[in-house]
Structure 1
Amino acid sequence: MAYKALCLGLMCSLFVYQIYTPIPEDIEEPWKVTMLNVLVRTTELTGTLLEKIGLMKSEELFSRAAQAYFTKPISDENVTVIDTAFNGIPVRLYLPKKKSERKRPAVIFIHGGAFVLGSCKHMAYDIVHRQMVNQLGAVVLGVDYRLAPEYQYPIPLEDSISVTRFFLQDKILAKYEVDPTRICISGDSSGGMFTAIVTQVLKDDPEFKNKIKAQVLIYPSLQSVDLSMPSYQENEYGLILTKEMAVKYACLYITNDEALLQAARKNQHMPQGSRHLFKFVNWSTLLPEKYRKNHVYKEPVLGKLNSFPGLLDTRLSPLIANDSQLQNLPLTYIITCGHDVLRDDGLIYVTRLRSVGVKVVHEHMENAFHGALSFITPPFYLHLGFKMKDMYINWLEKNL
């Protein structure tokens, strides 16, 4: 009881303090967004305080809050919803009840949550996936990969690859009446990273390379090499996802060693021998001029930390894949947001994919922020979230 009272007192005090934090002038429904941002900031700061006094890790507090929005597999008159497992990994299937004269498209969805939070069972994703079934007649597969820090790199990624390979088997596609030429893989935030990596991996696999027609990346995280891009600088204390949160949870995906987090905060985490990778993320040449503004490019300091050679792996940073690894990727749809620390990851990936001949459709929402797709549920319905949802599904309808 004393613990709960302490948490409530802390959160109330922080809530009042945070409510006066200004938000960008171009944001729609500013009071709703202000309240959302205050709730996230309050939870973040409360978690940090609880962590410092040894009561709870901050990610645990966020995780418990997120679980309040998880849904049960409830079917309705149009959709059969099933929780099952593929290769031992939990998944949620959304299957159309309406008969179809032709085989169906399919959408594989890998959820976001900064590697440590969330589930494909989240209420917002449930809404999106039911609409996909009703509007597209699609089979939708949500992947519930294991989460960091309990399961660190590469386990969550390998879960995503394993589920995708299982689903793409001819016998499984036949079982669910899926057209093997009309399959999309998609994801938001950290799920966008996994989507990009899975697509890169399967591109060169003889058994699966022709079974992904399209990939969708929604405000994706795509690299851990340079954590001082203009979007990180401009949105350091931005809406919903701050730089500190992004860096901390990305580090927790890799290790519990505080040394990596301390170095990453200063952009001094990359090991010796990594200089050749910076050409793939050099925002001074790859970022559209509009977003370079008056920022001066400074290459990160190397060699302060040499304990994590995995940072050189494209399976941690798909943006550092070389040109040959990006060639012949499928049709790509990318949504980026102006008020997002991860904005530049997506913008640079658009540039790099187009430079090697990949067909890319890019939607940039200047007045949007990270996580907007999640805010289509009570108590906060944001027009921005519904707009993003409809853009995403309408694009799928035209291209699958």
Structure 2
Amino acid sequence: MRSKGIFLLLLLGALTSYYVYSPIPNDIEEKWKLMFTDCFFRSLSNLADLSELVGLKDYMGVMMFITFAERVVPLSDERVQVTEEMFDGVEVVVYQPSQQGGVGELRRAVIYLHGGGWCLGSSRMGPYDFLSRKMVTDLGAVVVSVEYRLAPAHHFPVPFEDVYRVVKHFLQPVVLARYHADPGRIAVSGDSAGGNLAAAVSQKLLQEPEQEVQLKAQALIYPVLQALDLNTPSYQQNQHMPILPRTLMVRFWSEYFTSDKALFHAMMANTHNSPESAALLKFVNWSSFLPEPYRQAYNYRAPPVVATGMHRPSNNLSHSIADPRASPLLVPDTALQHLPKAYVLTCEYDVLRDDGVMYVTRLRRAGVEVTHEHYPSGFHGALMFTLWPTDFEIGHRMLGNYVKWLKENL
């Protein structure tokens, strides 16, 4: 009887180890901590799949548990004053130094856009609250953290439009004066999907000649920048990496545009390009825009173009996929030439690595000043892993370098 108990205990231990273990590259630091962290994400994802399959709750509805679990109430303290406000009908959380500066002293300002694949996340999550407070205390900055509406309840372009309204509202001279923000020292920044929105907003502002105040900088943290080719070398290399496997990123893209599962299946097969979007593939040709070390042994093959049949997106979807507000890489060089200086952070073990690297290449060729920080042992989402129990040393290093760049360039 005792031997059976020991056997069952060993079997349970073996099954647990099998489930927790994932093949993580040796040069990633704190591998076991990442395995346990990813185990939670995978478990929740599996539960979300099951829930959607049996009709209890849709996938993203279950995944929102992450957002709720990390939610905090942003409160003022002795160093940071926090207020929850509405900017042109969009919720924002504004962080400011508690101590007023000298008479007439103006501050830097950062408009921050959270990640989460346009479907998850919140400015009120602990890691974003921590990040905003650090920017206030280290930079003396005003931080506007945006609570834009999320897909799938609000498909593209709603999240972009929310963010753009906030930026336009904040850049009004009367609003900047209210927050003692320097019109010449304003940045827009974001991570992952937030980096996508930050890049798109930076481009859109340049198209409005009547806009008095322009951005000084854009800071993009492992941004997602194109939906045309979901089989770049980094998508292939990192398709099973923790935190953001290829399947999840493709799901985020498809849910951003539509709740029709046909698009998800087409994107998984990389057969979602119509003649309209295919005309823009030249802007994401990684054989031209990826330096050799990132291409490795992968050979470029343009995604197929589907003119008819079940994999062809509707005309409305084709237009959205090809829209630069969704895919900021899909613009000619002339649209990049006068963009503000940029900071782009990429991670080696991230399906989105090549999006960021291609944008760096294209911005530099267009004459834009770019700082590219690439982390050879980095993984997607690392900058947000700065609080116990998922605090990673690499996350703290990324955060320190990001804030240092803002201090020196804003």
The normalised TM-score by structure 1 is: 0.95
Give the deviation of 1:223 after TM superposition: 0.3
Structure 2 equivalent of residue 230 of structure 1:
233
1:383 equivalent to 2:393? Answer yes
What residue is the counterpart of 2:25 in the other structure?
24
Task: Tell me if 1:278 matches 2:281.
Answer: yes
CA distance in 1, matches of 2:163, 2:384: 21
Residues in 2 aligned to 1:216 and 1:394: alpha-carbon distance in whole angstroms: 12
Aligned to 2:6: none
Greater gyration radius = 2
Please tell me whether residue 34 in structure 1 is matched to residue 24 in structure 2. no
Task: Compute the RMSD of aligned alpha carbons.
Answer: 1.5
Off by >6 Å, runs of 4+ in structure 1: 12-15
Task: Kindly provide the CA deviation profile for residues 344-388 of structure 1, in whole angstroms up to 9, marking residues without a partner as x.
Answer: 000000000000100000000010110111111121211011111
> How far, CA to CA, are the matches of 1:306 and 1:240 in structure 2?
28
Counting aligned pairs with the same residue, the percent is 44
Q: Provide the secondary structure at the position in 2 that maps to 1:318.
A: coil
Give me the whole-angstrom Cα distance separating, in 2, the residues matched to 1:375 and 1:381: 5
- Distance in 2 between the 1:20 and 1:73 partners? 36
With normalisation by structure 2, the TM-score equals 0.92
Asked whether 1:171 is paired with 2:150, we answer: no
Q: Secondary structure at the match of 2:275?
A: coil
Q: Distance in 1 between matches of 2:204 and 2:212?
A: 9
2:408 aligned with 1:395: no
Count of residue pairs brought into register by the alignment: 389
**After alignment, is 100-109 or 59-68 more displaced?**
59-68
Rounded to whole Å, the distance in 1 between the matches of 2:200 and 2:321 is 14
Match of 2:382 in 1: 372
Alignment match, 2:83: 82
In the alignment, the residues of structure 1 paired with residue 155 and residue 50 of structure 2 have an alpha-carbon distance, to the nearest angstrom, of 24
Q: Is the 8 A contact 1:18 1:41 kept in 2?
A: no
**Cα offsets for 1:269-309 (capped at 9, x unmatched):** 01123332111100111101001111111111112404122
Question: 2 CA distance for matches of 1:288 and 1:14?
Answer: 42
Letter in 1 for 2:405: W
Residue type at the aligned position of 1:208? Q
The answer as to whether partners of 2:172 and 2:213 remain within 8 angstroms in 1 is no
Q: Deviation at 1:210? A: 4.4
Which amino acid in structure 2 is aligned with residue 48 of structure 1? Answer: D
Aligned partners of 2:171 and 2:213 also within 8 Å: no
Paired residue type of 1:215:
Q
Q: Check conservation: 2:149, 2:158, Cα contact below 8 A.
A: yes
Question: For residue 69 of structure 1, what is the amino acid of its counterpart?
Answer: E
SS of match in other structure, 1:114: coil
CA contact (8 A) 1:89 1:145 kept: yes
For 1:65 and 1:274, locate their aligned partners in 2 and report how far apart those are by CA, in whole Å.
34
Write the distance in 2 (CA, Å) between the matches of 1:320 and 1:366: 27
Partner of 2:197: 194
Deviation at 1:191, TM superposition (A): 0.4
Deviation at 1:14, TM superposition (A): 8.8
More divergent stretch after superposition (236-245 vs 269-278): 269-278
* Deviations 1:90-126 (CA, angstroms, capped at 9, x unpaired): 1000011222232011000011001100111111111
* In structure 2, C-alpha distance between the alignment counterparts of 1:240 and 1:49, rounded to whole Å: 19
2-structure distance, mates of 1:129, 1:94? 7
